[in-house]
């Protein structure tokens, strides 16, 4: 009784004096604010401008699914500038990215401008026109606004912020912060108390729950506030960006970052109608399935159907429906994956959920596909995750060459050698139609390859494809590419002379 009375009296004294015990979560945020320059200074900052440069990498589009393979897919970042109107929750992100390797749309070097005004996200074109973006893009823009020590700590100090799960881990202390519907984790160095990382777990169609981690280093004082001059980003285990800031200023004039009235009043457009899916039989038992920029093929074997390419869930559903229409008595049980890039494999999990029991691919893709099939998908459970304990498919690895053959169908498979886009690609040859299929190398009549100065389309890998066809001594009459149109080999040979995706006088059908 005496102990309880003493505790009651102590609580009363604390309340009366205006002292409140901080939670672990509040203490972590308070320590971070103090290290940055103090709570009052952090909250008083009205504007921030940071400028620099660096490089980033397209995780999911690498040469191979390993660390060295990713380094080949590097982009130079220049004219990096981020302007924040902290008082009004606005920002403008500018960057010029230039490919440092052969890319299907050239080296790029286009200026990208993205902006946010509260909950309104929009993009600004080179001519100054602004267009609002919605849904996932808007949520990602809000997260990007908060992915800086100053912006996230300021948000965490607001009464509306939700703080949870304060904890220690190694040499860091961490707290989960939810602000404006965006959940991020702030990590601070246990010794210096400066923010060391900001972490977000996001959903990926291929990799499921994916950790996006931004690390901060090389802090220096700028107008009374500690700011990092080195920012690196990792996507799971992969380094995806490295930026050094050369100029940083606080309380400079940033002008108006408000969303234009037309952007503010814009409403979300309805989703586009599903594309029409068509299938034409280009050889006996072989169908070329069209409808979007990413084509698929269906091949008929004696007791089953084989699907070539699973780019995304929408296309997989449409192509599987077409297969049931074409051959209702033959299930699609086999999937052939041409290479590991995400835009060609985001429908793999759905194909397995729909009954695929075997996946055929180049051996360098096996580790990637195992990750695709086994990683958790808890943020946005897909069809495979919802099925629970599904028996995973057999993965058949092809080395330099392979063949699929029965009484009805023959498919020869060849590793595409010495291609700088991906070292994991298979080229397919169908002897019954003298047809070649390949991904990403030859994209006939695909308008996405048309860039400034190249009205007939950028085509960096045509010589590589021709050399691989010659190496395998293939008698080719037609091309059924994953991107572009079904065309004759004569058109390919003409394109090869011009090094273009179009030949003079041809028109885009994409």
CATH code at 218? 2.50.20.10
Say how far apart CA 77 and CA 61 lie, in whole Å. 17
Residue among 297, 296, 277 nearest 287 (CA): 297
Residue 504: inside a domain = no
Shared domain for 155 and 301, answered yes or no, is no
Residue 343: inside a domain = yes
Shared domain for 109 and 255, answered yes or no, is yes
Shared domain for 129 and 29, answered yes or no, is yes
Shared domain for 135 and 26, answered yes or no, is yes
36 SS3 class: helix
Shared domain for 419 and 389, answered yes or no, is yes
Residue 351: inside a domain = yes
Among residues 259, 292, 308, which one ends one of the domains? Answer: 259
Distances (CA, A) of 385 to 177, 327, 390: 27, 28, 9
Residue 318: inside a domain = yes
Residue 7: inside a domain = no
Per-residue pLDDT of the chain (510 residues; tens, 9 = 90+): 444 444 444 444 444 444 468 999 999 999 999 999 999 999 999 999 999 999 999 999 999 999 999 988 899 999 999 999 999 999 999 999 999 988 888 887 889 999 999 999 999 999 999 999 999 999 999 999 999 999 999 999 999 999 999 999 999 999 999 999 999 999 999 999 999 999 999 999 999 999 999 999 999 999 999 999 999 999 999 999 999 999 999 999 999 999 999 999 999 999 999 899 999 999 999 999 999 999 999 999 999 999 999 999 999 999 999 999 999 999 999 999 999 999 999 999 999 999 999 999 999 999 999 999 999 999 999 999 999 988 999 999 999 999 999 999 999 999 999 999 999 999 999 999 999 999 999 999 999 999 989 999 999 999 999 999 999 999 999 999 999 999 999 999 999 999 999 998 766 555
Say how far apart CA 466 and CA 444 lie, in whole Å. 14
Shared domain for 246 and 285, answered yes or no, is no
Shared domain for 252 and 293, answered yes or no, is no
Residue 25's domain spans which residues?
21-259
CB 208 within 8 A of CB 190: no
Shared domain for 41 and 116, answered yes or no, is yes
Q: How many domains does the chain have?
A: 2
Distances (CA, A) of 160 to 155, 267, 365: 8, 27, 46
Say how far apart CA 449 and CA 108 lie, in whole Å. 11
Q: Is the pTM of this model over 0.85?
A: yes
| CATH number of the domain to which 492 belongs | 3.60.15.10
- Residues 6 or more apart from 388 whose CB is under 8 A from it? none
Residue 270: inside a domain = no
- The CA-based angle 65-68-72, given to 5 degrees, is 90
Residue among 319, 308, 290 nearest 484 (CA): 290
Shared domain for 253 and 288, answered yes or no, is no
Among residues 259, 290, 307, which one ends one of the domains? Answer: 259
Q: How many Cβ atoms from other residues are within 10 Å of residue 143's Cβ?
A: 20
> E strands within 337-462?
358-362, 394-398, 401-405, 410-415, 426-430, 435-437
Shared domain for 192 and 235, answered yes or no, is yes
Shared domain for 210 and 339, answered yes or no, is no
Tokens of 156: 């965490």
Shared domain for 222 and 298, answered yes or no, is no
Residue among 385, 334, 322 nearest 361 (CA): 334
Residue 2: inside a domain = no
Residue 1: inside a domain = no
């Amino acid at each position: 009784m005496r102990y309880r009375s003493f505790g009651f009296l102590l609580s009363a004294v604390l309340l009366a004096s205006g002292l409140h015990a901080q939670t672990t979560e509040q203490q972590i945020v308070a320590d971070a604010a103090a290290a940055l320059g103090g709570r009052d200074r952090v909250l008083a900052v009205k504007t921030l401008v940071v400028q620099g440069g660096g490089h980033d990498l397209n995780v999911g589009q690498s040469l191979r699914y390993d660390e060295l393979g990713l380094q080949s897919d590097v982009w130079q970042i220049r004219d990096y500038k981020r302007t924040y109107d902290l008082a009004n929750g606005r920002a403008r992100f500018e960057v010029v990215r230039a490919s440092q390797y052969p890319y299907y749309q050239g080296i790029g070097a286009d200026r990208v401008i993205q902006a946010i005004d509260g909950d309104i996200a929009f993009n600004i074109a080179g001519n100054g026109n602004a267009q609002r973006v919605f849904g996932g893009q808007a949520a990602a823009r809000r997260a990007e606004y908060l992915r800086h020590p100053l912006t996230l700590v300021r948000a965490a100090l607001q009464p509306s912020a939700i703080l949870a799960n304060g904890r220690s881990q190694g040499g860091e202390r961490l707290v989960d912060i939810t602000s404006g519907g965006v959940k991020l984790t702030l990590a601070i160095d246990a010794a210096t108390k400066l923010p060391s990382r900001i972490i977000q777990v996001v959903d990926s169609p291929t990799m499921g729950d994916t950790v996006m981690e931004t690390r901060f280093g090389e802090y220096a004082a700028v107008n009374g506030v500690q700011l990092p001059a080195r920012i690196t980003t990792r996507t799971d285990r992969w380094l995806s960006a490295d930026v050094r800031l050369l100029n940083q200023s606080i309380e400079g004039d940033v002008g108006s970052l408000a969303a234009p009235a037309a952007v503010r009043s814009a409403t979300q457009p309805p989703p586009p109608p599903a594309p029409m899916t068509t299938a034409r039989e280009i050889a006996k038992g072989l169908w070329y399935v069209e409808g979007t920029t990413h084509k698929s093929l269906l091949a008929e074997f004696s007791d089953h159907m084989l699907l070539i390419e699973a780019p995304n869930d929408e296309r997989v559903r449409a192509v599987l429906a077409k297969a049931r229409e074409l051959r209702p008595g033959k299930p699609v049980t086999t999937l052939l994956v041409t290479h590991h890039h995400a835009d060609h494999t985001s429908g793999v999990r759905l194909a397995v959920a729909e009954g695929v029991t075997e996946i055929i691919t180049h051996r360098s893709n096996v580790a990637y596909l195992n990750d695709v099939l086994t990683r958790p998908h808890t943020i946005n459970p897909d069809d495979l995750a919802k099925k629970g304990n599904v028996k995973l498919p057999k993965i058949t690895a092809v080395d330099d060459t392979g063949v699929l053959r029965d009484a009805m169908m023959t498919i020869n498979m060849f590793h595409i050698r010495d291609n700088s886009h991906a070292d994991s690609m298979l080229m397919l040859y169908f002897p019954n139609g003298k047809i070649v299929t390949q991904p990403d190398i030859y994209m006939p009549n695909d308008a996405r390859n048309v860039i400034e100065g190249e009205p007939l389309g950028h085509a960096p890998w045509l010589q590589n494809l021709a050399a691989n066809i010659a190496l395998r001594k293939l008698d080719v009459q037609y091309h059924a590419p994953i991107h572009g149109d079904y065309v004759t080999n004569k058109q390919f040979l003409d394109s090869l002379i011009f090094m273009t995706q179009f030949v003079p006088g041809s028109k885009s059908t994409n």
